[in-house]
């Protein structure tokens, strides 16, 4: 999965480290890492859309789809959203990471 403007807020290294503790094939490992990244990405976009005014959703999705690494888009979001969107994303990502790590640890038992 490619990097996005949210990558620095949703780091998944801790999940990757936990996945690497399992005896998995490269394909299985890559599939689990991709699933974790996509899960956090989905929740990140949901968090953004939950706080962005509905009339701005289409504009955001279009801009993000065209250039997910455009740092100016994060500045645009901050100007359109009343709360600290970076803090909201970090909080949601931490919650999801905790849930994913708990699932991985349960699978180890």
- How much is the pLDDT for 50? 97
Task: Give the residue among 109, 99, 59 at the shortest CA–CA distance from 79.
Answer: 59
- How much is the pLDDT for 89? 96
**Once rounded to an integer, what is the mean pLDDT over residues 51-58?**
98
Tell me the average pLDDT of the chain.
92
- How much is the pLDDT for 2? 57
- How much is the pLDDT for 99? 95
Sign (positive/negative) of CA torsion 58, 61, 67, 70?
positive
In this prediction the pTM is 0.88
Q: Grade residue 109 by pLDDT with cuts at 50, 70 and 90.
A: low
């Amino acid at each position: 999965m490619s990097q996005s403007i949210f990558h620095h807020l949703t780091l998944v290294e801790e999940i990757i480290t936990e996945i690497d503790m399992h005896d998995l094939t490269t394909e299985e490992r890559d599939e689990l890492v991709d699933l974790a990244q996509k899960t956090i990405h989905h929740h990140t976009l949901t968090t953004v859309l939950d706080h962005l005014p509905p009339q701005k959703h289409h504009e955001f999705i279009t801009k993000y789809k065209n250039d997910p690494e455009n740092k100016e888009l994060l500045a645009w979001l901050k100007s359109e959203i009343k709360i600290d969107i970076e803090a909201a994303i970090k909080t949601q990502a931490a919650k999801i990471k905790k849930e994913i790590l708990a699932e991985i640890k349960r699978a180890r038992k």
